[in-house]
Amino acid sequence: MFRALRLDKVLHQLLGDTLRSLLLERWDRIPILGMIRQSADQVRARALRLAEKIPGARLEPGHSVLGGGSTPEQSIPTVAGRD
């Protein structure tokens, strides 16, 4: 079991970089924290760029739950796509 779950040098480096960024409060260096911290306008701009590539796609305002539903009472504004 330990052999199957063993971390290699790359994973150790990534984990170290992530923990260092947390300690130094460099939030935007951690991709998921950077995405969570984006404003609704920033999300809309990204969604519009993507929607331009999908014929018939429409965007509408919405809310996302953080953590896949682990914090259902906390949500952030977002933009949802419809086709």
Q: What is the pLDDT of residue 80?
A: 82
What is the gyration radius of the CA atoms in the chain, in angstroms? 17
| Helices marked H in 1-83 | 9-23, 31-36, 40-51
- Write down the domain spans for the chain: 9-82
Mean pLDDT by 10 residues, the chain (83 residues): 77 92 91 85 90 89 78 81 68
Q: What is the pLDDT of residue 49?
A: 92
Instruction: Decide: pTM greater than 0.85.
Output: no
Q: What is the pLDDT of residue 77?
A: 85
Backbone angles phi, psi at 34, to 5 degrees: -65, -40
